[in-house]
Structure 1
Amino acid sequence: MGTEGENVRVIAGRYRLEARIGRGGMGVVWRATDQLLGRQVAVKELSVDDSLSEDEARQQRERTLREARAVAQLHHPHIIVVHDVVVDDERPYIVMELISGGSLAERISADGPVDAREAARIGIGLLGALRRAHEAGILHRDLKPANVLMEADTDRVVLTDFGIAQVAGATTLTESGAFVGSPEYTAPERMSGVRTGPESDLWSLGALLCTILSGESPFRRDSLGGILHAVVVDEIRPPAQAAPLLPVVRGLLERDPERRLDAAEAERMLRAFRDTGRTPRLMTPYTPTQRDVPKLAPTPSRTPAAAAERPPKHSTRGILVAAALVAAMAGAGVSAAALLMNDGGGGGPSPSRTTSTSSASGSSSTRPSSPSRTSRPASASPAPTVTVTRQQAPTSSARTAPSGYRIAPDPNGFSLAVPDDFTRDPQGERVFYLSPGQVFRLGIKVTEPAAGGPLAVMRAADAKGSSTNPGYRDGTVTRTTHDGQPAALWEFTWNGFTEAEGARHTYDLCWEEGGRMYDVWVSAPVGKVTEAKEYFDVAVDTFVPS
């Protein structure tokens, strides 16, 4: 039993709880003295759910202690040290090192956002902590600024609350479908109850980086339902302040966990930024395998568009995935949010052909085709609708080029950000920006509006996909919006124009704006989907009609 004096309690006959220094959904944190060793410590007194039966409470307590003891075996400079785990009066306590300094959330609240170099430093520390934990089979499950401590004297980054979130029911949909915790930092695959793995912690880190750079999570909304929709369905728009670290942020906020940037590569890229002031691109492109076919397809970061690509004397087309979210509110939480997404793949038009009914542009994305898709063309069924609840679009002057990109003012009446090493190659009514060796092909076409709008154009292009793109498959056309304008997103896989070129994937977005129809697409080998999606997102995000 804990003994109580006038203002203090002693638990386990050893730890004197002296002052409350924090409170959260999982319990209370005390400043305490270890009377045996004569040192200051922090003690977390975990909350007990009074609604649980005696047997359920015992199981929860055992689970808490088991996981806390596992975390105590972790040794890393950026992971909180767990000294002891005790039970007093049937209540579990975790004894940890006492960090003199507040949380990262408190720092941002008091001093405002940090700059990119500081964000990179914090990210490097957290990635080291996550890698060590993941190697030991431990997931954090509740990575957010409030769970990151900043040591006052050294500014050391310290990750706390490891492994406890699952036990306490925070941050994810539990087996029973209830939701509590920090949804703004929760990965979409956990929202949908599909899976939980190291990749989910990395998504949380991506959201955290956006928060500390801008002062607000990119998924903050006015309601829990709005947050769930933002995480699982809405367009992901990193804040302008994330531009210097954009390749890392976009890689971490990849909705498909199989394609998400891994910890080692993210750390390499952040270290390179700290050393050079520039964020490099991926060193080793992701190569999909049959096992890697995603259960969750990335949501279009911008609205869909359809068109025929004509790369260096070629043409390609892109289609994207259908996505829908169902979230129901019940009792104290949200019932399981069902994420229903269609995988998409596609090809591009043949070198000699264009489609008169489409705003001929094409983009090839790199996601592999899904074996679960049928051979029926996407146009045989109604196009799904994605309702996008977006943040205010930035003004033209705010659309600056991320690290590794430049703004390209184009004589065809627009500007956009393209990678530094891409070169312009006009081909008739289409304009291409090509990577060295033409591995990546970014295309743009500007036309007069067409009957039926972007959706009709994309559907027509999809219907002709097999005649214009060798090996066309997995085409998907999705109705959406772009900067509040009607748009359509087309994604597909195809075989490429030559055997040597190999299979390619295309993302293609078409929309109307100011009395014109715009089509932007990116085509790339299926083994380079991560880079292709980044180029596509940046191009569409920074596109400004002139």
Structure 2
Amino acid sequence: MGWAQVSTHELVAGRYRLLEVVQREVNRVCWSGEDTGTGRPCLVTRTALPQDETGGPGPRITGRVMRTCESLESLCPGRIAPVVDAVVADGALWTVTEWVGGVPLGDLLERQGTFNYVRAARVGLELLTVLDAAHGEGITHGELSPGQVLMREDGSVVVTGFGLAGATLAPRLTAPSYASPEQARDERIGPAADLWTLGAVLYTMAEGRPPFRDRGRPEATLRGVDRLPLRTPVRTGPLTQAVLGLLRKDSRERLTRPVVREALTRVLTEDPDTAVHELPRPRLRGMYAAARDAGRGRGGRRTVAGTALALATVTVAVVAVTHGLPGTDDGSATDAGPRPSAPTAPTAPSPGEPAPSAPPTSASPSPSRPDGDALPAGFRRYTAPEGFSVALPGNWRRLDTSRVPDGAYRVVFGASGDPRTLAVTYSERAGADPVAVWRDDVEPELERSGGYRRIGEIRATTYRGREAADMQWVAHDDGDRVRTFGRGFLLGGGRSFSLRWTTPAADWDDGGNERTLAAFLQSFREAAA
């Protein structure tokens, strides 16, 4: 995750000063902070609550969180982040934990890449020890994810986030990609839900992406977890059977904790030389190091110092899907990676396919226009910190951001309740022929997905004076038939952007959709190199 400066004049609960954002998940943000009463550093986490839970359940929620963590801390000293305070304010649950060293597992995977299966087994055993203690006390975590697992430099694991399950009426507040199928169906959960998530975390450590990708909207992600088949892992080695046994849709069929422990232990004993006995020191600072090291004034008091721009939620799955030019993810119903979107010039229809309507012709090359220039009615110009801007409908916002260390990223835009999306993908490893990238890198993945069919030919074109290529196709997305227009264009030096515009197939010819697509193409600007 990125570090982001947080400027606030108000203290949480009148006592805790927020310093820097260190992690984001759905409905959950963590800051490094300072206890102004003692001067000690701490971690402050804000978890959004549903509207019907903000009118008086504060003592019940905070009491549950405090009691749960206190109980588990006594059973697993050093493995549970101690919660020192919890309050409900401003429609959210705020929890304050002691300063513990470490880096979120999701952050470590993003920075260092996948783990070998022995290292994954070692982390899995650490998590299983914590879950054994919790389940023995009748406690289900219910919110486990790589963001709730802190990795210390000595290889030990600290788990945060206990106490939320059962404290609120909202299922899976923070990490829908790691929800169990029963949570996706909003059913009562138990220890088996944590075992599913353990399997999902093992899968992510080995494969570099969660077993079910984040689809931009929690409800869409949860539908995928519940309904879509699991994509078979290819890097889990001797962990494969344990992972598949944990990721069974029927909770009654999942492996038990003793069986999982035996399987993970066998991996370590049979291949001890491959194990990583101590985690390498991550290049980025530990989770709270920025708060500790950020400008210290006289007397050692911390001062608020500038840091890098905030990054939105990072999806590990983008590693495999942003190396091609026009967005190299599949955009289909399978979980082969995130889905970008965008439009193209008219293409020849396939036999039996109605002739696609021609998207608007993009404007001729011109310098980026200032934000004050006229935009279509109801649109506003959005300028991304990554270095591009585009006109968006007034109620649209960023739904998802994914990036990898080599500079590639994907940003998805949309609105709640709106099935349409626009995705912008940037790569620094694009091939020299944009048509070949669509044909050789993107389409093979699309063809492995359900219901994929290209519409017409991949067309070479130009976009603002740059080499480009357009492709259109239809596919299934969570059972719905969708149609996508993709345009990829080269910037030079291996750099490229791609845009993908996806709508329900039945609505493709809607005039409003055509105007929206035209606005995207006419307004998109990349920052000068």
Bin for the TM-score computed over the shorter chain = 0.3 to 0.5
For normalisation by structure 2, the TM-score amounts to 0.45
Greater C-alpha Rg: 1
